[in-house]
Amino acid sequence: MAVDLPEGCIANVVSLTSPQEACRVSMVGSTFRSAAESDAVWEKFLPRDYDDIVARAVAPPPRFDSKKQLYLWLSDHPLIIDNATKSFWLEKRSGRRCYMLAARNLAIVWGDTPSYWRWTSLPESRFPEVAELVSVCWLEIRGKINTSVLSPSTTYAAYLVFKSTASTYGFQYQPAVVSVGISGAESETRNVFLDPEGGQRMRYQIMPRRIRIFNRTLASNMFRSHACISRESEHQYPKVRGDGWMEIELGEYFNKGGEDSEMEMSLMEVNGGDWKSGLVVQGIEIRPKEAT
């Protein structure tokens, strides 16, 4: 004989799953739908301090009739907080926290020197200001976020979000060094390219199949150059985002939770001595790493 479970019992069970599973459960039947869409369930999926986060918003979200509506809104609409220096949103499937640090919230070397960097506004940016690179030979950008505001037991990746302009130059062949880790601790570094077209040029440089070389020094230099190109082809290049900006991954960090430390992200290109210009930085985005 079938036994009908109380709606409250179903809601308690569903609240222990995930937002994605709750949406699936709601399709089972009317009782399950009522339980899966209740405020008791979606209150658990929202951050415990969501009231504080909303209170820090530059413009508060609309008033909603249910917690589920608020959750879905926070998944689709990054909330600008802390005097427009950060944005906050939720990963829709899991409810994990995501952030973007605005360019004004980053440590940019020479960022307040007008001959090197210019602060301007773009309608397609979520923040009031972006940083446009005028001309530098020393490029260094750093950002920090406290790990206590991130979701626990989550691997996060950090991404520089930027655009190139028609006047961009200096990024074709010289890679930048990026890293993500805990402030004050040694972190792994790797090379990335900020110019996607430059990366493609390096990918498609081809050595001739047959060549007669009588100068051993010339031969050694050519094969060394070929090996360098092969290694560079393994580096990462920017990808175009859905919002029209580009992003390059700086690294990843597993947040255990329960710790009060700072996660630091950096991008540097200081060794080449080449002058660079035209990069437009919106910020650094920190979001859960997608499973591969």
Query: Which residues are registered as beta bridge partners of 181?
Result: 264
Is the pLDDT confidence value at 220 over 70? no
**Per-residue CA distances from 258 to 18, 146, 149, 157, 287 (Å):** 21, 11, 10, 19, 18
Tens of pLDDT, residues 234-289:
578 999 999 999 999 999 999 999 888 999 999 999 876 789 999 999 999 999 99
Tens of pLDDT, residues 63-72:
999 999 999 9
Tens of pLDDT, residues 8-46:
687 667 776 678 777 776 766 677 677 777 888 889 999
Is the pLDDT confidence value at 219 over 50? no
Whole-number mean pLDDT of the chain?
84
The model's pTM: 0.84
pLDDT range class, residue 203, cuts 50, 70, 90: low
**Per-residue CA distances from 217 to 178, 211, 225, 227, 230 (Å):** 34, 15, 12, 15, 20
Residue 176 has a pLDDT of 94
Tens of pLDDT, residues 99-157:
999 999 999 999 999 999 999 999 999 999 999 999 999 999 999 999 999 999 999 99
- Closest by CA to 180, choosing from 150, 138, 203, is 150
- Domain 83-195+237-288, CATH number (from 2.60.120.260, 2.70.50.30, 3.40.50.300, 2.120.10.10): 2.60.120.260
pLDDT range class, residue 198, cuts 50, 70, 90: low
Six-digit token pair at 78? Answer: 């990054």
Q: Which residue has the higher pLDDT, 279 or 210?
A: 279
**Per-residue CA distances from 13 to 1, 8, 40 (Å):** 22, 9, 11
Strands 117-120, 130-133: parallel, antiparallel or unpaired by DSSP? antiparallel
* Domain residue limits, the chain: 83-195+237-288
Residue 214 has a pLDDT of 44
CA distance 199 to 195: 6
